[in-house]
Structure 1
Amino acid sequence: MSTRWYPLYQRGNPQLRILLPNFWLKLVRHSVPQPPNVVEFIVSTEMTRIDIKNYLEKIYNVPVVNVRTRIAMGKTHQDKLKGYITKDDDYKVAYVTLPREHAFKFPDIFPKMDREEKDKKSLEEAKEGYKKYIERSKDRPGAPGWFSF
């Protein structure tokens, strides 16, 4: 499962070996609407359904009911100047079904309230700065703004 090289056996001290898989999973948002207990991953193309299920259950302690996979073709692009065509690598998409009582929801990293408050605060700061600029340059009409100190 792993292609890493491990140190040669030496007598005496116990060997400290950690077996790490060469696999990876990337959690993505659904491309089409799915039930709340279905999670979509982009996974390593070498992974099988059993590997995905074991990976999630053993490493992350996530109960898995079913795993469905498909191979998605990479996009093709044509170079605008020279005209040659390139293709992105193919990738594997896994749809993992959790038990019925479990539901996955992406966390809201940027809440809307925080953005609105920050926008209002920056707008007020800009207004205050403009008022100070007008106050400084009211007795110098016609002087450019960059010419102030």
Structure 2
Amino acid sequence: MSTRWYPIYQRGNPQLRIFLPNFWMKLIRPTEEQPKNVATFSVSMQMTKYDVQNYLEKIYKLPVVDVRTRIELGKTKRDQVHGYVTKEDDVKIAYVTLPRTEEFTFPDMFADRQEKKESDEKSLDDSKEGFKRFLDRNKKRAGTPGWFSI
């Protein structure tokens, strides 16, 4: 499962060997509407569908019914000044199907966004009101800087 090489033999005891797999998986938000029992992952290019299935079953104890993978091509872009073409890396996408009884919903990482928005609006209103009071206080002294007050 790993393509890393173990270090060569070194004198002394103990010989420490640590298993560090090259594989990684990242949960991504699907671009199209999908059934409730399908999760979408961005995985390393070396992973096969069997590696994805074993990874989820052995580490996270998820019952996996099916895994479909596809390779999404990276975007190409032409440099306007020099004219050369650059291309982003390709990405492998894995669609993992769970049993019908399981339901996957993408986690809401920003649940408190609405509360923060309300507090931001309140602070914005307070600052607007304070600026209006400042203008009312200094409207008789046109041309005088605001920091110059008696």
Letter of the 1:122 counterpart = S
Partner of 1:130: 131
Query: CA separation of 1:77/1:148 partners in 2, compared to 1, >3 Å: closer, same or farther?
Result: farther
The separation in 2 between residues aligned to 1:110 and 1:12, in whole angstroms, is 49
**Unpaired segments of 5 or more residues in structure 2?**
none
Moved more, 99-108 or 109-118: 109-118
Displaced runs of 4 or more, over 2 A: 4-13, 15-18, 107-113, 131-142, 144-149
2:132 is the counterpart of 1:121: no
Over the residues paired in the alignment, what is the CA RMSD in angstroms? 2.6
CA deviations over 1:52-100 (Å, ceiling 9, x no partner): 1111111222221110011121111010111111111222111001111
The separation in 1 between residues aligned to 2:8 and 2:16, in whole angstroms, is 9
**Sequence identity percentage:** 53
Tell me if structure 2 keeps the 8 A contact 1:77–1:87. Answer: yes
Q: TM-score, normalised by structure 1?
A: 0.81
Tell me if structure 2 keeps the 8 A contact 1:76–1:88. Answer: yes
Q: TM-score, normalised by structure 2?
A: 0.80
SS of the residue corresponding to residue 70 of structure 1 reads strand
The structural deviation recorded for 1:120 is 2.6
Question: How many positions carry a matched residue from both structures?
Answer: 148
Partner of 2:80: 80
SS of the residue corresponding to residue 86 of structure 1 reads strand
Partner of 1:3: 4
The separation in 1 between residues aligned to 2:61 and 2:124, in whole angstroms, is 46
The structural deviation recorded for 1:125 is 2.6
The separation in 1 between residues aligned to 2:114 and 2:122, in whole angstroms, is 12
The separation in 2 between residues aligned to 1:77 and 1:146, in whole angstroms, is 51
The separation in 2 between residues aligned to 1:67 and 1:42, in whole angstroms, is 12
The separation in 1 between residues aligned to 2:130 and 2:98, in whole angstroms, is 54
